[in-house]
Structure 1
Amino acid sequence: MRPFVLESDAVRLSVPERGDIDAIVESCQDPELQRFTTVPTPYDRSDAEFFLARIVDHGWSTGREYTWGLRAPGSSELVGMVSLRFGDHDIGFWTSPAARGRGLMSAAVRLVADWAFEQGDVAQIYWEGYLDNDGSAAVARSTGFTYTGVGEGLHPGRDGARPLCRKGLLRATDDRTVKPGWPLPAASAEYPRPADVDLRGPAANDSVTGPERP
């Protein structure tokens, strides 16, 4: 598949390129991103170059996984990543620390889901995140995913084991309203503003989900 851009009034999604390497490397120093994804640690330029060549480019050329860089409207700065993996139809994402809490990733997930259901021949999309990754769960919840419980993750962690994860499902026939049943963080009666960091976020694993690296 030839890479394409997805755009709305809220966000612009375009394929990450070599000019984004510095932004990717900087984002992947974030302790939260390292905690909730399988990005290599330490993370340097060679990891970003591997990610672009072996995950992003290969994913698009084979149709296995489509990865987009997240940018705010009118800006060329990459502030996150979102990918849709076609084997399991699961979505992964992360947002840089400075861009969190602005609703950018929620808008990006809606945009990807709209494309997948309307043009990508996808009937449902899966989400999963580590049990304590409340930010990622907040994004899934806010974009209309139904909470389906806890189970073994689709993808192994850094130690090779499949961690327990919270899981969600969004069907093409679902509306995008917030669904009941999502567990709230123990310390709060409400979900936190999304930290926008997912288990398999594109610079995360595939292993951004299996062993892919950004």
Structure 2
Amino acid sequence: MCTTGSGSSRARAADRAAGHAGVRPGPTRRPDPVGHRGDHRRLSGPGHRPLDDDPTPYREQDARTFVDALVGPGWASDREYTWAIRRRGSTWLEGIIGYRTAGRDLGFWLAPSARGAGLMHDAVELVVDWAFEDGARDVYWECYEGNTASAAVARSAGFSFTGAGPARIPGRDGGPTTAWTALRRADGAPASDLPWPDAPSRSAP
């Protein structure tokens, strides 16, 4: 799960679906990590979980299905938590970030128009801190091999690159594909000394 290039169409479709579904924070055993870091964005949950294998093009019906069939049940079952990212004072969906409890894995996407403002970096920091406070010993990240934008976010958020290998999420054709992977440990120790592949440390969205 990671940032993708079709964020703007997903933002429009998911925003319409959220209004259709009346999405709002629901009962949960865990806190909603609404933050104020930088005072320029908020996380709202439930939101929409990012997947590199989302349908392309991403239609409003895809967003409705995602909200109705995946997001709500994920929160209710304590299996997966997803938050919408929006700027303070705005109702426009800028992106999403999600965390799955079983694999302790993080995923996200951000609309191209919202990149460069540090929104995703701050969102990742909030969700990772929340996961650590909830008892996670580490948080895992992956993206399709070659996604340097997503890698830049993970690197700037303190993740250690752990190599390339089979992705947990299938490719867009449904078959296996290769992912870059990284880990951030709760104790702050590096998980690896491998260098990051072609991901500038300060060019994160």
TM-score by length of 1: 0.73
- Quick check: 1:5–1:13 contact (8 Å CA) kept in 2? yes
Any unmatched runs of 5+ in structure 1? 18-23, 25-32, 196-214
1:202 aligns with none
- Quick check: 2:167–2:176 contact (8 Å CA) kept in 1? yes
Residue 126 of structure 1 aligns with an amino acid whose one-letter code is Y
Per the alignment, in what secondary structure is the counterpart of residue 38 of structure 1?
A: coil
- Quick check: 1:8–1:111 contact (8 Å CA) kept in 2? no
* Between 92-101 and 70-79, the greater mean CA deviation after superposition: 70-79
Q: Is 1:150–2:178 an aligned residue pair?
A: no
140, 148, 156: which one aligns with 2:154: 140
Question: Residues 51-200 of structure 1: matches in 2 within 5 Å?
Answer: 51-118=66-133, 120-174=134-188, 181-184=195-198, 190=200, 193-195=203-205
C-alpha distance in structure 1 between counterparts of 2:166 and 2:155, whole Å: 20
C-alpha distance in structure 1 between counterparts of 2:153 and 2:102, whole Å: 22
* Between 150-159 and 90-99, the greater mean CA deviation after superposition: 150-159
| 1:74 Cα offset (Å) | 2.6
C-alpha distance in structure 1 between counterparts of 2:68 and 2:136, whole Å: 25
| 1:111 Cα offset (Å) | 0.2
C-alpha distance in structure 1 between counterparts of 2:58 and 2:161, whole Å: 32
Residue 52 of structure 1 aligns with an amino acid whose one-letter code is V
C-alpha distance in structure 1 between counterparts of 2:171 and 2:184, whole Å: 24
C-alpha distance in structure 2 between counterparts of 1:171 and 1:192, whole Å: 21
- Quick check: 2:155–2:201 contact (8 Å CA) kept in 1? no
| 1:113 Cα offset (Å) | 0.6
- Quick check: 2:138–2:185 contact (8 Å CA) kept in 1? yes
Per the alignment, in what secondary structure is the counterpart of residue 193 of structure 1?
A: coil
Q: How many pairs align?
A: 172
After superposition, the C-alpha distances for 1:10-49 in whole angstroms (9 at most, x for unaligned) are: 33111256xxxxxx8xxxxxxxx9xx82111222111111
- Quick check: 2:46–2:75 contact (8 Å CA) kept in 1? no
- Quick check: 1:135–1:192 contact (8 Å CA) kept in 2? no
Aligned sequence identity (%): 42
C-alpha distance in structure 2 between counterparts of 1:105 and 1:139, whole Å: 7
Any unmatched runs of 5+ in structure 2? 1-26
Alpha-carbon RMSD: 2.3
Per the alignment, in what secondary structure is the counterpart of residue 69 of structure 2?
A: helix
Q: Is 1:15–2:45 an aligned residue pair?
A: yes
Q: Is 1:4–2:18 an aligned residue pair?
A: no
Residue 136 of structure 1 aligns with an amino acid whose one-letter code is S
| 1:192 Cα offset (Å) | 7.0
With over 3 angstroms needed to count, the CA separation of the structure-2 counterparts of 1:180 and 1:148, relative to structure 1, is closer
- Quick check: 1:126–1:167 contact (8 Å CA) kept in 2? yes
With over 3 angstroms needed to count, the CA separation of the structure-2 counterparts of 1:64 and 1:83, relative to structure 1, is same
